[in-house]
Amino acid sequence: MFPSMRIPAQSDLQRPLRGLIPQDLVDRLARLRNQIVLVAEDTGGSDVAELRRALDEYLPLLIGLTKKEHGLEGSVEFKWKNLESGRQENSVANSLFELLSVIHMIAVLNLSEANRLMIPEDCSGSGIRVVSSDCKRDAVDLLLKASGCLVFCVREILAHLPPDIKKTISKDFQDGVLEAISIQALGQGTEIQLGFAVESQKASLSVKRRLACEQMIYFGQAYHFLSELDMSNGLGKKHLCFIKWKFLEAKAAAYYYHGLILDKGTEPACHVSAVCCFLAAGGILSESKKACLTFSLADPVTRSPPLWGAMKHLHQKIPEVASRKSQMYGYLLEEEKALQALPDLPDFDLSLAPDDFVLPEIDPAWDRNKGGIHSQPLKEHLKDSEDETET
C-alpha cells in the first residue's frame, strides 16, 4: 500500500510572473507544468517514464523560484489535486510547497512502479505467473529511491516551510506521515530480500532470521510514527492497519527462524526455548491473519491480498513446525516448566538505508537571465497587474 498520487492542477503562472522574470522562462515553466498535468490525467498516472521525464525537466526550472535572492517564493499560487478523486487538495502561494509536492510525486511514482514490478506475470507462456529476480531487484532499488525522496522532503523542505503553510497543506505531508512511508519502503524492500533468501538454498537460517528481524523493526518504527498521528480520515486508518499486519507477519517469521536456530542446540533448554518460539510464531501468525482481514475491511474495502514471497512459504511451515515440535518436546515442556519463557529476539543494525536524493542543478536559464529578473516588490507587481486588468 502506498499514498494516493497527487498531481498538479491547472495554475496561472503567466500573470503573477509577468514582468518579474523573462517571458521565455515563464513560458517554459508553464508549459512543463501543464505537460505534467496532461500526462497524469490522460494516463491516470500509469505512464511513469513520461511523467518522470516531464518532472525531471520541470525541477531545475522550479528551483529558481525557490531561491531567496530571486524574491519569488510567494509569487505563484500552486494548485494540486488527488488523481483518483480529482478533488483539489491544496492551493498554496509558496514555491517550496511546489518543490515538496513535485518530489513527493516522484516518490509515489517510484512506489507505484515498484508495486507494478511485483505483480506476477506469465513470461514463458506456461500459464505459471511469477515475478522475475530482475523485477524484484529493480523493485528494491525503486523502494530505496522513494525512501530517499521522502527523507529529503522531511529534512530539506518541510523543515523550512512556514508554520502557517504547514497547517493548510494535505495530511499526507504532516510530520510523521512522510517518515513512516519512508521507513515502510525500507521494510518492504527487506520483505523482498527475505523472499529471495527463502527461495535460495545457500541462504543460512541466520540470514533469514536477520532479515525477518530487520523487517519487523522497520514496520515497528513506521507504526510508531503513524500511531502518534490522527489517522481517522481518508486512507489513514487503512494505512495503519496495513503497517500493523506487515509488522505481525515479520514478527512471526522472526520467531520462527529464531526457533529453528535455537533448536540446533543440544541442551534441553535449547529445545524448550525453540518450542516457545514456534508456538509464539504460530500465535502471532494467527494475529496477522486477523490484521490482514481488518486491513481489507477498512474503508475503502479491498480484496484480501494473496500470499507471496516468504509468507507464502511460512503460512504453511509455521503451524506445521509448531505442532510437530511441541509434540516432539512435550515431555520437556512438562519437565522444564521453569524454562518456559519466550526468549528475546536478537537486535540487529539495519541493513537498508534510503538512497540519497540530490536536487539537480538550477536551470542555466536563471543565470543567463539574471539581468532580466526584476526586483519589483510583489505588492507593486500585483497592483500593476490589477491596473492592467481594469483598463
- What is the C-alpha to C-alpha distance for residues 381 and 83, in angstroms, rounded to an integer? 33
Give the bridge partners for 80, in sequence order. 8, 90
> What are the pLDDT digits (tens) for 198-244?
999 999 999 999 999 999 999 999 999 999 887 776 688 899 999 99
Number of residues that make up the chain? 391
**Per-residue model confidence (pLDDT) at position 87:** 77
Q: What is the DSSP string of 86-119?
A: --EEEEE--HHHHHHHHHHHHHHHHHHHHHHHTS
Task: Put the strands of the sheet holding 88-92 in their side by side order.
Answer: 6-8, 78-82, 88-92
Cβ 97 vs Cβ 79: under 8 Å: no
> What are the pLDDT digits (tens) for 44-80?
888 999 999 999 999 999 999 999 888 899 999 999 9
CA-nearest of 71, 60, 91 to 170 is: 91
Q: Give the position of cell 512459504.
A: 313
How many Cα atoms sit within 13 Å of 200 on the Cβ side?
13
| Whether pLDDT at 388 is above 90 | no
